[in-house]
Amino acid sequence: MIEARGIGAVLGGTKILHGVDFTARPGEMTVIVGPNGSGKTTLLRRLTGDLDGPGAVTLDAAPVAAMPPRLLALRRAVLQQAVQVGFPFTLREVVRMGFEAGHSAHAPAVVDMAIAEVGLSAKADHFLHDLSGGEQARGHLARARAQIWQPVTQGRACWLFVDEPVAALDIGHQILVMEVLRRFADTGGGVVAVMHDLNLTAMHADRVVLMSEGRVLADGPPEAVLTDDRLSAAYRSRIRINTAPAQGPWLLPQMAGRG
Amino acid sequence: MTVLGASAPIRNRRAPARLPAGPVVAGLAVLLVLVAGASLSLGASGILPWEMFLRPLNPAETAILFSIRLPRLILGALVGAGLAVSGVLMQGLFRNPLADPGLVGVSAGGGLGAVGAIVLGGALPAGIHAVTGMYLAPVFAFAGAGITTLILYRLARLRGHTSVTTMLLAGIVLGALANAFTGILIYLADDRQLRDLTFWGLGSLAGANWVKLAAAAPVLLAGLAVAPLLARGLNAMAMGEPAARHMGVPVERVKRGAIFAVAAMTGAAVAVSGGIGFVGIVAPHVLRLAIGPDHRRLIPASALFGAALLIVADTVARLIVAPAELPIGILMALIGAPVFLWLLLSRRPGTVM
């Protein structure tokens, strides 16, 4: 369980987060959404320890800031946005780095399995910087997965923190990545994701945290948080949610044409 | 930043095949032994390597071999290894293959320390001499190189990320500043100190002897011993400090270790051999192409290659204008400058600049 109480953050003299409370449970995918500048990524950076500020973050009741990086790396992996690699490492070498830092270091097959999971087996021996932006993003996801391959180790849940994991991806790979994260949560691990795509969020999230101007506007299951009023208020535009009926056929008029 | 409007990334291309690191390291070790043997036997007085074992040497030959060539050989090997590994560590720290202690003012800072020790040494309290003894110049050079590295690292990371433009320019400024202070010290120096400074400043191993070796070797060896411990951390730091931290690397400790090792090795190398540049660029660059950027292999391979490179360069410097000697610094610049230019112009898009 990840718990954070009264999380604040100041960047360049501006208060970005105002006393945010946050909880994420294992076995669930917790998705942080909100408009640009609402503090989503800043909240994630506070949760992962990349940023200091008021308020404490705990993992299973132990303060994260006090845990040695070596041990923390066995429990959780972090996928940042747009990581650049300074030297000509191949995809496999980068994934191997995650693998060696993680908790499956006795099972070398994990490297290739993690690469296969994101659909990049054919490019394992390419230089990472020769791959497209979307392929690089998936490559770094494979690195995070190779680090935290088992959702549960020694009876304790492991965690993936991901910042906009599908931002650079086409729709097919968006679904692939969301399913990788979903499977991880379904098998007992915990996922905390920052997302822009509200549809993918509605499809895959167990819990949604809606941020607005550095505060949590709503927190709960997708159907409770993703409502017309709340989204309209957060995104400052008129938003209407539609749901497909649970039973019976339905169609979208946009999909119809004159035969 | 890309250089000269580099073309679009080439996709669907496998990385070029790399040589297996184990045999390459073994081959470099053999190479080092061969060039060491050649360096011992070549010179104004020729002694073939196997003659040392097959026949008793006359006193003159013994003196040449054990009092002149052997300390010079060992010092050259240690300085070469130290400079090459300093280059690797600096490049890893800055996530940039263009970083080199000689280029970014660290050597100049070490030089300032060494010159300070030579010129101001007499004015220091006797207590300091009692503590440092013959280590005075290496200790001062270490301090100078260390302070320069720290300032450089702070400057290059002012905006939260390491920018190569800031780093190179800040390095040039720091180097110029260090050279200006060195100039003031030289201006203050008396005739005897000036003679010491001139010999030192040429960048040469010519004055090598057992005493110099005993002063520099522990510092160089300490740096070389620390370097391999940083390899895994530097690998992860290629993806930036936060990513490295998330992969369990104690980033601050790795950074401190790298700065300490670079300052120790560069400082000691500068103190005993003056300004020898480009070893830290050439050796790691060639080896990254051959065996890849993994620091766990790059560090030992660079140490062996740097040692062999400097021994070859020193031997050539001794022979090419015999009986005079060419300063080895000139020779390394002639080899290193074109390699640096090639490196600068062949930068790929998408890599950190």
User: Does A134 contact chain B (CB < 8 Å)?
Assistant: no
Minimal Cβ distance to B11: which of A94, A97, A132 = A132
For residue A204, give both structure tokens. Answer: 């895959």
Inter-chain touch A80–B245, beta carbons under 8 Å: no
Residue B193 has pLDDT above 60, yes or no: yes
Cα–Cα distance for residue pair B262/B283, rounded to 1 Å: 16
A51 to chain B, closest Cα gap in Å: 10
Cα–Cα distance for residue pair A119/A140, rounded to 1 Å: 12
In chain B, the residue whose alpha carbon lies closest to the alpha carbon of A144 is: B247
Identify the DSSP state of B68. Answer: I
| Coil, helix or strand at residue B192 | helix
Domain ranges of chain B: 67-345
Residue B47 has pLDDT above 50, yes or no: yes
**How confident is the model at residue B4, as a pLDDT?**
41
Contact residues on chain A for B90, CB-CB shorter than 8 A: none
Contact residues on chain B for A85, CB-CB shorter than 8 A: 238-239, 351-352
Residue B5 has pLDDT above 70, yes or no: no
Banded pLDDT at B137 (limits 50, 70, 90): confident
**How confident is the model at residue B138, as a pLDDT?**
76
Q: How many CA atoms lie within 13 A of B288 on its CB side?
A: 24
Lowest mean pLDDT among B46-50, B74-78, B154-158, B214-218: B46-50
Minimal Cβ distance to B235: which of A84, A97, A125 = A97
Q: Are A26 and A68 in contact (CB under 8 A)?
A: no
CA angle A149, A152, A154 (to 5 degrees): 115
- C-alpha A176: how far from chain center: 14
Residue B246 has pLDDT above 90, yes or no: yes
Inter-chain touch B242–A50, beta carbons under 8 Å: yes
- Specify whether the backbone of A61 is left (phi greater than 0), alpha (psi in -120 to 50) or beta: left
**How confident is the model at residue B17, as a pLDDT?**
74
Task: Tell the residue number behind the tokens 């550095």, with chain if given.
Answer: A214
Inter-chain touch A84–B246, beta carbons under 8 Å: no
In chain A, the residue whose alpha carbon lies closest to the alpha carbon of B350 is: A129
**How confident is the model at residue B294, as a pLDDT?**
95
Inter-chain touch A89–B13, beta carbons under 8 Å: no
Minimal Cβ distance to B14: which of A71, A125, A147 = A125
Banded pLDDT at B162 (limits 50, 70, 90): low
**How confident is the model at residue B161, as a pLDDT?**
57
**How confident is the model at residue A183, as a pLDDT?**
96
Q: Are A214 and A16 in contact (CB under 8 A)?
A: yes
**How confident is the model at residue B349, as a pLDDT?**
44
Which residues, given as ranges, of chain A have pLDDT below 70? 245-246, 259
Identity of the highest mean pLDDT range in A122-136, A236-250, B136-150, B151-165: A122-136
Summarised one tens digit per residue, pLDDT across range B337-352 is 887 788 777 765 444 4
Inter-chain touch A84–B352, beta carbons under 8 Å: yes
CATH number of A2-244: 3.10.310.30, 1.10.10.10, 1.10.10.60, 3.40.50.300? 3.40.50.300
ipTM for the assembly: 0.89
Mean pLDDT of chain B: 82
What residues of chain A, 222 to 251, have a C-beta less than 8 Å from chain B? none
For residue A64, give both structure tokens. Answer: 């994260």
Inter-chain touch A85–B11, beta carbons under 8 Å: no
Inter-chain touch A80–B243, beta carbons under 8 Å: yes
Assigned superfamily of B67-345:
ABC transporter involved in vitamin B12 uptake, BtuC (1.10.3470.10)
Residue B10 has pLDDT above 60, yes or no: no
Contact residues on chain A for B292, CB-CB shorter than 8 A: 88-90, 93
Identify from B247, B254, B351 which residue to disrupt to test chain A contact, counting A C-beta atoms within 10 A and taking the largest count.
B247
Summarised one tens digit per residue, pLDDT across range B74-112 is 999 999 999 999 999 999 988 888 788 877 888 889 889
- C-alpha B30: how far from chain center: 21
Cα–Cα distance for residue pair B10/A259, rounded to 1 Å: 45
**How confident is the model at residue B163, as a pLDDT?**
63
In chain A, the residue whose alpha carbon lies closest to the alpha carbon of B285 is: A87
A190 to chain B, closest Cα gap in Å: 16
Sequence-separated contacts (24+) of A111-116 with Cβ below 8 Å? A111/A146, A113/A149, A114/A142, A114/A143, A114/A145, A114/A146, A114/A149, A115/A91, A115/A139, A115/A142
Inter-chain touch B352–A97, beta carbons under 8 Å: no
Summarised one tens digit per residue, pLDDT across range A203-225 is 999 999 999 999 999 999 998 88
User: Does B247 contact chain A (CB < 8 Å)?
Assistant: yes
| Coil, helix or strand at residue B47 | coil
User: Does B228 contact chain A (CB < 8 Å)?
Assistant: no
B260 against B303, higher pLDDT: B303
User: Does B157 contact chain A (CB < 8 Å)?
Assistant: no
Domain ranges of chain A: 2-244
Banded pLDDT at B127 (limits 50, 70, 90): low
User: Does B292 contact chain A (CB < 8 Å)?
Assistant: yes
Banded pLDDT at B249 (limits 50, 70, 90): very high
In chain A, the residue whose alpha carbon lies closest to the alpha carbon of B290 is: A88
For residue B206, give both structure tokens. Answer: 């010519």
Identify from A11, A46, A72, A87 which residue to disrupt to test chain B contact, counting B C-beta atoms within 10 A and taking the largest count.
A87
What residues of chain A, 36 to 75, have a C-beta less than 8 Å from chain B? 48-50, 68-74
Minimal Cβ distance to B294: which of A76, A78, A93 = A93
B56, amino acid identity: P
Minimal Cβ distance to A69: which of B245, B292, B293 = B245
* Cβ-proximal residues to A179 (8 Å cutoff; 6+ apart), any chain: none
**How confident is the model at residue B2, as a pLDDT?**
39
Task: Tell the residue number behind the tokens 């680090």, with chain if given.
Answer: A147
**How confident is the model at residue B152, as a pLDDT?**
84
Inter-chain touch A83–B239, beta carbons under 8 Å: yes
Minimal Cβ distance to B248: which of A73, A80, A126 = A73
Contact residues on chain B for A130, CB-CB shorter than 8 A: 9-11, 13, 15, 350
